[in-house]
């Protein structure tokens, strides 16, 4: 199976396991979309913004000496967007509905990010 197909399969499993997840996108750390499970055509824009947020989050952690990037959670009035490091080359962005179980979102997001990292490592 092709890398993009395997990544999309993991993202689909995330949505199926976590009822509050409304979609996700995976991209390279430089913003190139790898797979998209979003309900509209915002995948490329979400990938670019995910890359930028990853860079800012990594800089903040480096500046403060708080370790390496794992995740960023953005809370809005209409839901959540979470960003996860999926190995050294992939960023997983997950959208969730308002009132989402943030603990479950974080748990399943990290689990999916680890699966994406494993898929990417296997394909290289």
pTM attached to this predicted model: 0.93
Domains of the chain: 3-123 (3.30.450.30)
Q: Is 94 in contact with 109 (CB distance < 8 Å)?
A: yes
Average pLDDT of the segment spanning 67-86: 96
What pLDDT score was predicted for residue 124? 59
In percent, the amount of the chain with pLDDT more than 90 equals 90
Q: Is 122 in contact with 5 (CB distance < 8 Å)?
A: no
Please say whether the dihedral angle defined by the alpha carbons of residues 56, 61, 63 and 67, taken in this order, is positive or negative. Answer: negative
8-51 pLDDT, tens per residue? 999 999 999 999 999 999 999 999 999 999 878 888 999 999 99
What pLDDT score was predicted for residue 49? 95
């Amino acid at each position: 199976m092709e890398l993009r197909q395997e990544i999309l399969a993991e993202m689909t499993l995330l949505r199926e396991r976590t009822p509050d997840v409304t979609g996700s996108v995976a991209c390279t750390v430089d913003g190139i979309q790898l797979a998209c499970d979003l309900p509209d055509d915002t995948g490329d824009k979400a990938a670019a913004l995910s890359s930028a947020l990853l860079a800012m989050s990594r800089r903040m952690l480096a500046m403060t000496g708080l370790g390496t990037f794992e995740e960023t959670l953005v809370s809005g009035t209409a839901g959540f967007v979470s960003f996860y490091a999926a190995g050294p080359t992939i960023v997983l962005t997950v959208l969730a509905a308002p009132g989402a179980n943030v603990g479950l979102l974080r748990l399943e997001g990290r689990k999916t990010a680890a699966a994406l990292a494993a898929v990417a490592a296997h394909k290289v």
